[in-house]
Structure 1
């Protein structure tokens, strides 16, 4: 294995040739569309905020693993920023937002190599910002989704195999879900599913892929370890919380009142979840901990993501509390099983995303969001949205779990996913990267 040449440099060289000579892009005169400077400024800021979440996730996960796996775990997040950015430009944006093929996925040639994006008409749901800015904003979501999965198989996956898997995950799981949920012609969009900022597209897809990965790779040889550096976890939580304002408030796709509501609900849900987590721990005789506070805050951020632009502030607090208690219980259940989800990605991101999706159907109100047609939730006496959200949860769960399992099998056939016992015990920092703290 070590003596073989990697095909990646040759692939990149071919892409450079295509971009430079075969597809010369000479945009027509820009400025023909009604672009809002204020909305553009906010979305530029939001795009940067969402990107900082991935380094934040690297610190969040890196602080939780054992010392011999800190660098490898953090690199798994960082490499997503490089890989997905290239895929997105080539055909990824097209798969997610290109001309719809049956409502399931986009035509990969629609925006191939960003053709027609620089001077293209704004996205219908974001009419006041340039199409290119919309594309770059959505790219940051596509980057963090596969990075979230890494916590489930931390400390035992081969790095080169991981790269192949996230490429497949993006193309066959993430992009179809993004298209189905956020494209005007998408299946879930037409079905009436509400997902303001990625509860389905990002967190449920990553959560179910994490569960599939943990089951597929099985337990670590030594599953007992102490977190390497809890201050890293706290730093990562701060960066995630900070970036999440771009994640949720940016999903308003403008700088108006809806963005303010999403920012407010994000703040309160995460705060309420952090408190609920440590209070629930205390009720069961545990001491309040830095780890618990951080995990609770992130669970609240996950749960409010699909609902941020559809619910009131008091209801956002309820969502945070409910999600924290349920995720805490699932984490406790997981510890009593043989499931080795290293950093509890499924109990926190997967379950948190599902709770948020269902509670969107409970608490959503059409008084909050004037941009899209919103049915009232269950607490307002209407059951339609709740049933739609619940049905979508089942459909997406089946697709994401079994789809990810198939991709894991394919990846393992091409390049073994699991490191050897000796490599795992030595630590992935040394065995995969020849580096150490």
Structure 2
């Protein structure tokens, strides 16, 4: 067992876990002051819920043991691994303990679910959100993670391959889809679910451009900084080894979001006359989203180009909700769905070795598109069905008067900012 790589994976897992509190700050600063607790609690609720479900059965769905060289059919469940029963010991010859990989992937499940919550800010019941999150993770995230990430350790210590998006399409097309750290499984997946929930819950009271402004831009900047810091674990850690590929992913995780930050600010300056702090934070996140699937497959120069494209396009894409009439409160669709699509499809042209400019073939672009749209459609349809069912049974949205007053005290009995103590 390589103790250095084991330590690398565990540190990366801790970094990715930090992303969810970072997301809570990012989202919390974007909402109004009277719903900041509600918004941040949806992220922390995801941490608690996914941490338990992943151990109980999430890992057994996402990473069933599959003989090397075979392709698993979608929705395979490893019944021997409920409660992590079969990965408690490290097989002889394994590069790292299976539990290190379990921990790393657990943090991916947590952040993916938390991302969805941004679309329903200011108006969602906490209990209904938790019910939705549990069901969506079970029938959407865990299986999709298997389609993309199923490269964990088998019982004999060898790598276990089988996800149809990567290994399966390689059997058919000669190349599999590239998604190094989760452009499809995390960002397209969460973005599509966010769009579905925004449609189910409907618009906020008074929804129109300029009606809902961020109450705490410093929170937004702090959250973006924590996200960027944790993203190094997200991207470089996905190599599962401290090597040159991890170093390339690390450098690209600097370059792409930096370029996207600049591109977003330029678009803001041209479009609105002023570059904003929220725009800088959003641009950095857009670049991080776009580079996630591509971080190990691009040269740093092409990573900068990707960041410029993602920052500019996502800055424009967040306006879609006003033109199309859906209320994606915190721009999960404009940043994560659009950014994830850009990063995933970009690989079809610029991926080292297999992209169009290197191979002269559109095959890589084809498999990237199949992966992206398969995940998007699957997640959107099931999220809409689950969200609709939750809304029609226990109710997903608070009353309009509670939304106007601010839902923190109604749902959680707390206030984000207590300016005076009137208890006597």
With structure 2 as the length reference, what TM-score do the two structures score?
0.89
Per the TM alignment, residue 356 of structure 1 is displaced from its structure 2 partner at its CA by: 0.5
Give the structure 2 partner of residue 186 of structure 1: 163
SS in 2 for 1:267: helix
| Aligned with residue 124 of structure 2, among 141, 147, 157 | 157
Q: Which residue of 2 aligns with 1:256?
A: 243
Provide Cα deviations, 1:38-61, integer angstroms capped at 9, x if missing partner: 111111110100000000000000
Contact 2:16 2:234 in 1 (8 A): yes
Correspondence list, 1:130-169, <5 A: 130-169=97-136
CA distance in 1, matches of 2:222, 2:83: 36
The structural deviation recorded for 1:104 is 1.1
> What is the deviation of 1:382?
2.4
Does residue 316 in structure 1 map to residue 303 in structure 2?
yes
Corresponding residue of 1:197: 181
- The equivalent residue for 1:43 is 9
- 2:73 corresponds to which residue? 103
- 1:420 aligns to what? 399
Please, which moves more after superposition, 47-56 or 102-111?
102-111
Shift of 1:71: 0.7
Deviation per CA, 1:108-132: give whole Å up to 9, x if none: 523111102121439x9xx522100
Larger displacement relative to structure 2 (152-161 or 323-332): 323-332
Change (3 A) 1:274 1:120: same
Alignment of 1:365-376 (within 5 A): 365-366=352-353, 376=354
**CA RMSD, 1 decimal:** 1.5
C-alpha deviation, 1:99, in angstroms: 3.7
What is the CA–CA distance in structure 2 between the aligned matches of 1:289 and 1:56, rounded to whole Å? 20
The offset of 1:393, in angstroms, is 1.7
Instruction: Please identify, of 278-287 and 302-311, the stretch whose mean Cα deviation from structure 2 is larger.
Output: 278-287
Partner of 1:276 in structure 2? 263
* Structure 1 residues 234-288: Cα deviation after superposition (integer angstroms, max 9, x where no partner): 0000000000000000001110111100000110000000000001222234211
Q: Distance in 1 between matches of 2:29 and 2:80?
A: 41
> Normalization by structure 1: what TM-score?
0.87
CA distance in 1 between partners of 2:32 and 2:105 (Å): 33
C-alpha deviation, 1:413, in angstroms: 3.3
The superposition leaves residues 203-246 of structure 1 with CA deviations (integer Å, 9 ceiling, x where unpaired) of 00100000011111110113323211110000000000000000
How far is 1:329 from its partner? 1.6
Q: C-alpha distance in 2, partners of 1:399/1:202?
A: 13
Give 1:336's aligned residue.
323
Distance 1:36 1:277 in 2: 42
1:102 shift after superposition: 4.8
Provide structure 2 residue ranges, at least 5 long, that are not aligned to the other structure: 151-160, 170-175, 417-424
Alignment-derived partner of residue 65 in structure 1? 31
Matched length: 391
Asked whether 1:233 is paired with 2:220, we answer: yes
CA distance in structure 1 between the partners assigned to 2:57 and 2:321 by the alignment = 38
Q: 1:119 aligns with which of 81, 89, 95?
A: 89
2:357 maps to what in 1? 379
Helix, strand or coil at the partner of 2:241: coil
Aligned partners of 1:169 and 1:120: how far apart in 2? 31
CA contact (8 A) 1:92 1:108 kept: no
The answer (yes or no) to whether the contact 1:149–1:210 under 8 Å persists in 2 is: yes
Partner of 2:156: none
Runs (4+) of structure 1 exceeding 6 A deviation are: none
Aligned to 1:435: 414
Offset from partner CA, 1:151-184 (integer Å, 9 cap, x none): 1000111110100000011011111111111222
